[in-house]
Amino acid sequence: MKRRICVAIIVSVFLLGMTVYFVVSNKSVTTFYDKENSKEIIWNGSRDEKLVALTFDDGPHPRFTPKILDVLKEYDAKATFFMLGKHVKLYPKVVKRVAKEGHEIGNHTYTHIDVKANSSQKIQDEFKKTQEIVYEVTGKKPTLFRPPYGFYNSIVKNITSKEGCRIVLWSTHQDSKDWSCPGVNKIVNTVVKKTKNGDIVILHDYVVGESDTIEALKTILPELKKKGFKFVTVSELLEISFEVDK
């Protein structure tokens, strides 16, 4: 009888242990690899941490980017700038300031090409030229690539992974289309109301005409900070996410 109880206890402990193991390991996988996320294509970071990665595309812009940097500094926020190579060449001083203030610089092609409508050679040239110009100006090659319009295919995956770059998209519920200047309130409402742990927020520091993004940031940053969010670069977000994933 005693032996039977003993066996029952051992089996129960074993089953309990297995359950805990599966719950814990399953949780860490789903938190990072949320639905669409994969090792190659990043849409968001860990849902376990109160972190947000703000990203700014198409710059640098000689007037708007410095203003965005001022607001980020005021709130001790770090961000990621997906730059066009041609703008890096035109405005190297702004690029240097972005790097010096601890923000990350990602590759967004040289002239904002649609990768689906271009040859493999053209994509490779645009990607490499941008890697090189960023390196020339900052001494560091980007490790993140954001394809214009969020388009990608196996050619893009091959080119970027060979260079040790990851493809970074964005949290789709976060797209305020700020490039179309939809008004400060629209941008603020989209970002502040919808932000979830680990989100990658897409914004633009280069827009045609006047930018609503700078004014919107002056509300977005304090509001999200009040909610307890910390603003990190995409690489920092991924580093933390992978720690969670281990």
User: What is the set of active-site residues?
Assistant: 57, 204
Window 55-74: residues binding Zn ion (CB under 5 A): 57-58
* Shortest Å distance, C-beta 204 to Zn ion: 7
In this chain, which residue has its C-beta nearest to Zn ion?
57
* Shortest Å distance, C-beta 60 to Zn ion: 13
Task: Considering the complex, state which of residue 46 and residue 131 has its C-beta at the smaller distance from Zn ion.
Answer: 131
Evaluate whether 232 touches 52 at the Cβ level (below 8 Å).
yes
* Shortest Å distance, C-beta 58 to Zn ion: 4
- Encoded one letter per residue, x for contact with Zn ion by CB under 5 A and - for no contact, window 101-140 reads ----------------------------------------
Candidate ranges 23-31, 50-58, 120-128, 219-227; the one touching Zn ion (CB under 5 A): 50-58
- Encoded one letter per residue, x for contact with Zn ion by CB under 5 A and - for no contact, window 135-174 reads -------------x--------------------------
* Shortest Å distance, C-beta 25 to Zn ion: 37
Within 13 A of 65's CA, how many CA atoms are on the CB side? 28
Task: Considering the complex, state which of residue 46 and residue 59 has its C-beta at the smaller distance from Zn ion.
Answer: 59
Task: Considering the complex, state which of residue 179 and residue 229 has its C-beta at the smaller distance from Zn ion.
Answer: 179
Task: Considering the complex, state which of residue 58 and residue 126 has its C-beta at the smaller distance from Zn ion.
Answer: 58
Binding site for Zn ion (CB under 5 A): 57-58, 148
